[in-house]
Amino acid sequence: MKKLISILIGVLIIGSILTLAIDKDVMSISKYVNSPGNGSDAFEATLTAGHYTAGIDIPPGTYTITTLSGTGQVSSTKVFSGAIDGKGSDNRENLKTTIDNVQLPENVVLTLTGSLVAKIATDTADLKAMIPRRNTAVNPITLTPGQYKSGQNFDPGTYDVIWVSGLGTVSSSNLFDQGIFERMGFDDLTAKEFKNLELKDGSILTVSDLTIKLVPSK
């Protein structure tokens, strides 16, 4: 009888733990899905090539994205992707392409590439959700053509990549994890700067046919 009671108590305890875990997950998922649009702050910014994390670089919210100039692609880690081409006409008004209802909850990353310049705007931003970036990168460094390893040739961390001279490509081994594959140079089709490149310890950065400067992102 005592053994049966012990088993029943054990089942009840395990059931309670599982229920709490499930409830916690559901609450977390609900917060993730519903967080954009819950704020009431107006916010807008003009962005160029780079990675922008909601809650660090921009406030969480539901955005309208409008191209202003250049050519490139805009995408996010929350099941949204769309190519935006702003080079189809000499008439500035015809260059503008707008995408509405782009949801950017906390920790979702919005990425722009190429020479694209875009305005993001929302009236559902949550400015209180913003936190400062914790960046382990401290020192800027200038890199000429070659291969470089994060943690060996420069500090691991988050960097703005600034074009200095030449025409070539900058790529990293973590391309699909806030990395980079970007043509940079002096013409209108290439990026002059790429913001918030994540280079964790061990990441390989390859610089081809140009000189760049890595500056720790703020």
Task: Tell me the three-class secondary structure of the chain, residue by residue.
Answer: CHHHHHHHHHHHHHHHHHHHHHHHHHHHHHHHHHCCCCCCEEEEEEECCEEEEECCCECCEEEEEEEEECEEEEEECCCEEEEEECCCCCCHHHHCCEEEEEEECCCCEEEECCCCEEEEEEEEECHHHCCCCCCCCCCCEEECCEEEEECCCECCEEEEEEEEEEEEEEEECCCCCCCCEEEECCCCCCECEEEEEEECCCCEEEEEEEEEEEEECC
Residue 5's pLDDT is: 43
Q: How far is CA 186 from CA 81, 106, 120, 208, in A?
A: 27, 35, 26, 15
Do residues 159 and 106 share a domain?
no
Same domain membership, residue 108 and residue 47: yes
CATH of the domain at 67: 2.60.120
In a domain, 136, yes or no: no
Same domain flag for 46 and 123: yes
What mean pLDDT value characterizes the chain? Answer: 82
At 63-82, the pLDDT tens digits run 999 999 999 999 998 754 44
Q: What is the pLDDT of residues 3-33, one digit of tens each?
A: 444 444 443 433 433 333 323 333 333 333 4
Could you give the number of structural domains in the chain? 3
Q: What is the pLDDT of residue 31?
A: 37
Closest CA to 99 of 115, 114, 90, 112: 112
In a shared domain, residues 124 and 51 = yes
Please check whether residues 122 and 201 belong to one and the same domain.
no
96 band by pLDDT with thresholds 50, 70 and 90: low
Per-residue confidence band for 202, with pLDDT thresholds at 50, 70 and 90: very high
Is 9 contained in some domain?
yes
Please indicate, yes or no, if residue 134 is contained in any of the structural domains: no
Regarding whether 92 and 15 lie in a shared domain, the answer is: no
Residues 58 and 110 placed together within one structural domain of the fold: yes
Give the pLDDT score at 70. Answer: 93
Structure tokens at 170: 């900058």
Domain encompassing residue 199: 141-216
